[in-house]
Structure formats: structure tokens, C-alpha cells
Structure 1
Amino acid sequence: MSSQSSKIVLITGTSSGIGLAAAVSAARAGWTTVATLRDPSRSDALRKAAAEAGVELDIRRLDVTDEASITSAIDGVLADYGHLDAVVNNAGAGHLGTLENESVAEVRKVMEVNFFGVLNVSKAAMPHLRASGGRLITVTSVGGVIGQPFNEAYCAAKFAVEGYMESLAPVAAAHGVSVSVIEPGAVATEFVANVGVDLEQAVAGAGVYAPQLSAYVNRTVAQFLDGAQTAEGAAEAVIEALTADQPAFRLQTSDWARGFVGTKITDLDGSAVLGITNGWVA
């Protein structure tokens, strides 16, 4: 891969789902794609997808919670290619829980991966993005706009990312860096499985909140089974942010996501949003 003839994008969290699809799509769009993941031994699906698409990926280790790992990955990209034109913050972890049934330490762990991990990567990359007039793209969620039951910690992290990036955007733009956030809804990926809980056991251990958690789990599983978009479809918004002449700050990945997020924009007193989410736990 040439160090100067194509633009260089680094993408985190590419072992599956949107990150995998975005890495393959970016390479197909002509970008030299550095596809990173915390555990390189989990790269089989990524390598298979790249081979099937007939594209080449530069696969490297990067753990967003390990600053030394981030520094090593970005320094390696600069050493090998001489520049960095875009970063896609995609790495993240799901979480299911509610205030009384989880520890503050668990909430901190969610924030560490989903919020501080994004900041760690973005901070390390920003000097190089300024040098290239590059792009900083972060995959958040509709849960970064609308709080969702039993997702308090996850939504708090995504809200934080959205607020941080929205605040950073004009500052970065003054120095030639475009900032965008991508807001998926339900995506048919391994994300639900990656929440890492036994749903039946979680309901059984939910105490007074068991009926509400059961209702939420049943509703959410049905949504993911019946109405989720593909990871490839969601990745299209990432590629739009990567390639558009003037990318929007906020891009939803589907009509459903646009409608859902749109509810919040005009909901001055919060009644419309809570009218929806109250029904999820009824």
C-alpha cells in the first residue's frame, strides 16, 4: 500500500458489525484502511469479509482503554504512511442495567470504553488530523440522543460523546478538521450478544424491576430480530461522513433512526420521548 497515493483512515472496533462493514466499505471506496481491534485473534471475520470484497486491509491492534496501545497504533500509522486523514471511533461495548441493580464501578467501566476510549483515540489523532485537514468520525447511537430504559450507563456514555463532539466541532473546524457523529438504531450485528449478560438470569435477578426488564428485553429482542438494519447499511453513513465534500455533523443510519431522533428535537418538555419509552417497560 502506498504511503502517499491514497488517503489513510484508521477505524477502531472492526472485529464485527458496523466497524467491520465500515472498514471493508472504506477500502472499497479507495481509502487505505487501518482496521484496528482490541484482540487481533478475533480478526477472522474481518479478513474473510475483506477477501470476499477483494480489498486489502491493514489490520492492527488497538485497545481504546490503553493509551500505550493507542500511541503505538497511531505512531505506527505515521511511520508507515506519513499521514493520517481520518479516524472512525467505532469501538464500544453494550451494557444492560439500572441504578439500584448495578455498582458505580460498573458504570465507570461503561464510561471508560464508550466515552473515555473515544477521547483517548481522538486526542492522540487530532494533531495529525489538523496537519491533513482530516475528519474525526464517531459512531454513537440513537441512545446518545434519547435515553432508554435499562441503558442508563450506556446512554450516559453516548450522550457524553455527542455533547463532547458537538462542542468540539466548531473548534476543530477552525483548524480544518471536520467532526461528525453517526447515530444507528437497531443494527443486526453481534452487539446484543456482546452486552455480555444472560438475559433470563438478568430478569431473574432484577428484583422489583423484573417485570419492567422483562418487558424491555422482549421488546428489544423483537426489534433486533424483525426491524434491524444491516451493518452494511449502517456503514453507509460512515462512508458518507468520510467522503462527502461537506459532511453533516449528525448522520442517522436509517429512516427509523431519523424519525426517532427527530422526536427529541421538538420535544421541549420531554413528554413525547417518555411517552414512547414508558411503553417499553409497561
Structure 2
Amino acid sequence: MSSQVVLITGTSSGIGLAAAVAAAQSGRRTVATLRDPARADALRKAADAAGAELDIRRLDVTDPASVTAAIDGVIADYGRLDALVNNAGAGHVGTLENETVEDVRRVMEVNFFGVVQTSKAALPHLRATGGRLITVSSVGGVVGQPFNEAYCAAKFAVEGFMESLAPVAATTGVTVSVVEPGAVATEFVNNIGFDIEQAVAAAGPYGDALRAYIARTVEQFSSSSAQTPAEAAAAVMLALDAEQPAFRIQTSDWARTFTGTKLADVDGSAVQGMTGGWVR
């Protein structure tokens, strides 16, 4: 693996951080990128504790110039790119009547168009190495969830895009996979970015439903089914290591069961029955 070069986006915390450390431990030359290098302290600390060597660089997936500079820099320094792991993204909780269309566009920009932009820049180099294009999606890329309309729309878009791209990329030797985590411990509470009581008070007719949704989701993210970032990152490593990785890789048995509900739900009634209970 020492000659392989992997670039991972969104490595300041969570799955991205854990995947970067694991990739470096596997012997790959690992370029760990993040929007703000000043936030790399946790990444450096984790790498040092694991004895892993990382090349930490700036990459803002919403800035085309930043994407181009990062990819070009990797090729200039290493001469190749064997894998891109699209991990950068941001959570979002809200519902249509209470937010603007611009709010929805911003969610799409980071979670979908950022993936498209970075993948497009990397593909010529992945073709040259017969490489891997791996995107961290979510079970929310399969199952639509209350108060996650914009976020799930972005993740649905990612999965549809990559599912459509995969057979085309395969004709040139590039393998495409999506990784679908479920709840990862602490991420929901840390990343939703708003005061819960204030949000409920501002939700108007949706206040009771939002409170029920948040209570259920906080419990889920603190339950025994929630994974550590390292456990979820193991699925990223499977996509990197497997001789013929699956297109869709869930990170746990819970995630497989959850997404399986949707994939077997021809008329949508099973999902609606399940998620409807989250807001009552």
C-alpha cells in the first residue's frame, strides 16, 4: 500500500478523521483535507497517538478553486491518486415551511455539489490508476426522514448520481462505492447547530412534531446501536481494501436493516409507517 495515495475530505472530526488515521495506518500515503487547517488539532493528535503519518491540506469542497488546487497539488507532489474519499458534509435539521429555498440550496451545495466538484477533479487521475471513488453518504440517502428534507435530498442525490456513474466509471477501471452510516455517537447533538428549545419554540405548528423527532433522534444517537467514528470508518477501509467492493456498503447490521426496509418497500407504506411514528 505504500505507493497508493488516498485523498480524504472533511477530516477535522468524526468518520473523516478516523478514516484518515486508518488509511495512514494501512500504509497508504494519506492526504487528509479540511476546510480550515486551523481545526486540525484533533486530527494531528489522533494521528500521533496511532503512529500514523498524514499530509494535512486545505480543501473546501464548495470552492472550485480550492478543489482544483488540492487535487493538482497531490498530483504534483505524488504523481498519482489511487482513491478519493468524499466525506465532507454538514448535517441540517429543518422543514420546508420554516426555512428558505436558499437554506436548502446551501445544504445541497456542501453535501451534493461538493461531492460532484471533487469527484470530477479526481476522476482523470483515478482512471490513470484504476482507482476508487468512495463517498460517505448516510442511511438518510436511502430513507427519507422527518425534518431532514434538505439533508436527505442531498444524500439521495449523491446516491443517485453515484449509482448512475458507477457502471460508466467501471468501463475505465474506476470502482465507485457509497458508504452508508447510521447513527454515529455524539454527531447529531454536536452538528445540528441550533438551540433545541429555541428551535421548537420557533417551529410554530410543527413544534410538537420537532420535539418528538429530536427526542427520538438524540436517544438513537446515544443508544447501543450508535457507532463510534472508528467503527463507521471501517466500512471506508473495506471499500479501499476489498478486491471487488460492493457499490453500497452499510456500516452496521442496524444500518443494513434500516436501509433494507426502504429497498424492499415498493409502495412506500413501510417507510411512512416507520418514520411517521417519529413525530408523534
Q: TM class, shorter-chain normalised?
A: over 0.9
Cα-to-partner distance string for 1:141-175 (whole Å, 9 max, x where unaligned): 00000000000000000000000000000000000
Find the counterpart in structure 1 of residue 29 from structure 2: 32
CA distance in 2 between counterparts of 1:209 and 1:123 reads: 39
Cα drift, residue 191 of structure 1: 4.6
Find the counterpart in structure 2 of residue 164 from structure 1: 161
* 1:94-173 equivalence runs, <5 A: 94-173=91-170
Cα drift, residue 33 of structure 1: 0.3
CA distance in 2 between counterparts of 1:205 and 1:164 reads: 35
Contact 2:93–2:147 (CA under 8 A) maintained in structure 1: yes
CA distance in 2 between counterparts of 1:186 and 1:127 reads: 34
**Which consecutive residues of structure 1, in runs of 5 or more, have no partner in the other structure?**
none
- Which residue of 37, 44, 47 corresponds with 1:47? 44
**Secondary structure, aligned partner of 1:175:** coil
Cα drift, residue 43 of structure 1: 0.3
Cα drift, residue 265 of structure 1: 1.2
Q: TM-score w.r.t. structure 1 length?
A: 0.97
Contact 2:139–2:258 (CA under 8 A) maintained in structure 1: yes
Find the counterpart in structure 1 of residue 244 from structure 2: 246
Cα-to-partner distance string for 1:177-218 (whole Å, 9 max, x where unaligned): 000000000001445322211111111100000000000000
CA distance in 1 between counterparts of 2:91 and 2:179 reads: 16
RMSD: 1.0
Contact 1:263–1:273 (CA under 8 A) maintained in structure 2: yes
CA distance in 1 between counterparts of 2:50 and 2:131 reads: 26
Cα-to-partner distance string for 1:96-134 (whole Å, 9 max, x where unaligned): 100100000000000000000000000000000001100
Contact 2:81–2:125 (CA under 8 A) maintained in structure 1: yes
**Secondary structure, aligned partner of 1:161:** helix
Q: How many correspondences in the alignment? A: 279
**Which consecutive residues of structure 2, in runs of 5 or more, have no partner in the other structure?**
none
Contact 1:63–1:70 (CA under 8 A) maintained in structure 2: yes
**Secondary structure, aligned partner of 1:182:** strand
Name the stretch that deviates more: 138-147 or 266-275: 266-275
1:162 maps to a residue whose letter is: E
Contact 1:182–1:253 (CA under 8 A) maintained in structure 2: yes
CA distance in 2 between counterparts of 1:111 and 1:5 reads: 35
Find the counterpart in structure 1 of residue 189 from structure 2: 192
Find the counterpart in structure 2 of residue 13 from structure 1: 10
**Secondary structure, aligned partner of 1:273:** helix
Contact 1:17–1:189 (CA under 8 A) maintained in structure 2: no
CA distance in 1 between counterparts of 2:216 and 2:264 reads: 25
- Percent identity between the two aligned chains: 75
Find the counterpart in structure 2 of residue 276 from structure 1: 274
Find the counterpart in structure 2 of residue 22 from structure 1: 19
Name the stretch that deviates more: 182-191 or 226-235: 182-191
CA distance in 2 between counterparts of 1:79 and 1:112 reads: 28
* 1:79-98 equivalence runs, <5 A: 79-98=76-95
Cα drift, residue 263 of structure 1: 0.5
